Amino acid sequence: MIDYPGFDPVALELGPLKVRWYGITYLIAFAAAWWLGRRRAAAPGSTWKPLDVDDFVFFCMLGVILGGRLGYTLFYGFDQWLQDPLYLLRIWEGGMSFHGGLIGVLVALAVFAARRGRAVADVFDFAAALPGLGIFAVRIGNFINGELWGRPTEVAWGMRVDGVVRHPTQLYEAALEGLLLFAVLWWFTSRSRPRLAPSGLFLIMYAFGRLTVEFWRLPDQHIGYLFGGWFTMGHLLTLPMLIGGVLLLVLAYRNPQPSGNFSRSAA
């Protein structure tokens, strides 16, 4: 058993301005995606230019922030929003949904693809390898904030929080949704794959990690379990990702189309 250190969520105070660790982890996430995207764009055979990645990441940032907050409000905080219409705008109070952020990014990247004359599927595939390190960073931010704890446990690595030893499910998610997802997708996308195969694998890898951890993670207190004492909103929102990922992967290999992210000579 390990005592939770009880981190201060505020990293730096500059007068009335408070810089929170959670916000810093989002900056790290976007910086990591930009760096990885530039590396991949500069690789031999890539049809992307490093400068393309700058606009690409800007669109991703808009999608994550707007979609993540709106998704959390609709999926997890709808009652609060009905009681207080300004709740949606108070991002500094926390509350971001990965599923909402994903939808926001898909919409933003579809706009990016249309503006750049690229196939939407190729843009999605290019993006698939980039979020893993960012997801890892944001889950560490959840850990620092002392949120998203798991069920009570007796495992040796359990963390005592307010007198109760719990699964550190933020760290489980950081490992599965972050590091493992990144390692597999970065390797998988290092050479040309059938169009939509990287996107399908991303959905499967994320869904595997999230669905697994949801069995130990506590649901949001104001929602609770949806049924059976184990099925959560996280399960409900993630299952379509798993199904969609499997369908995309099957489609990609049954009717393989060349990726537009690699030149024909490099494919």
Residues 238-255 have pLDDT tens digits of: 999 999 999 999 999 999
In this predicted structure, the answer to whether residue 96 has a pLDDT above a threshold of 80 is no
In this predicted structure, the answer to whether residue 92 has a pLDDT above a threshold of 60 is no
What whole-number percentage of the chain has pLDDT above 90? 67
Ranking 61-65, 77-81, 139-143, 172-176 by mean pLDDT, the lowest is: 77-81
Give the structural domain span for 178. Answer: 2-254
Domain presence at residue 89? yes
- Tokens (6 digits) for 167: 């699964």
Report pLDDT digits (tens) over 199-234.
999 999 999 999 999 999 998 777 788 888 888 888
Q: Return the pLDDT at 69.
A: 83
Q: Return the pLDDT at 81.
A: 67
How would DSSP label each residue in 221-261? Answer: TTT--SBTTTB-HHHHHHHHHHHHHHHHHHHHHHS----TT
Domain presence at residue 267? no
How far, in Å, are 76, 81, 116 from residue 194 at the CA level?
Answer: 36, 42, 21
Q: Return the pLDDT at 1.
A: 84
What whole-number percentage of the chain has pLDDT above 70? 94
Domain presence at residue 75? yes
Domain presence at residue 261? no
Of 206, 214, 209, residue with least CA distance to 235: 214
Report pLDDT digits (tens) over 168-183.
999 999 999 999 999 9
Domain presence at residue 113? yes
In this predicted structure, the answer to whether residue 85 has a pLDDT above a threshold of 90 is no
Domain presence at residue 263? no
Domain presence at residue 208? yes
- Tokens (6 digits) for 220: 């949001």
Domain count, the chain: 1
Domain presence at residue 266? no
What's the whole-model pTM score? 0.89
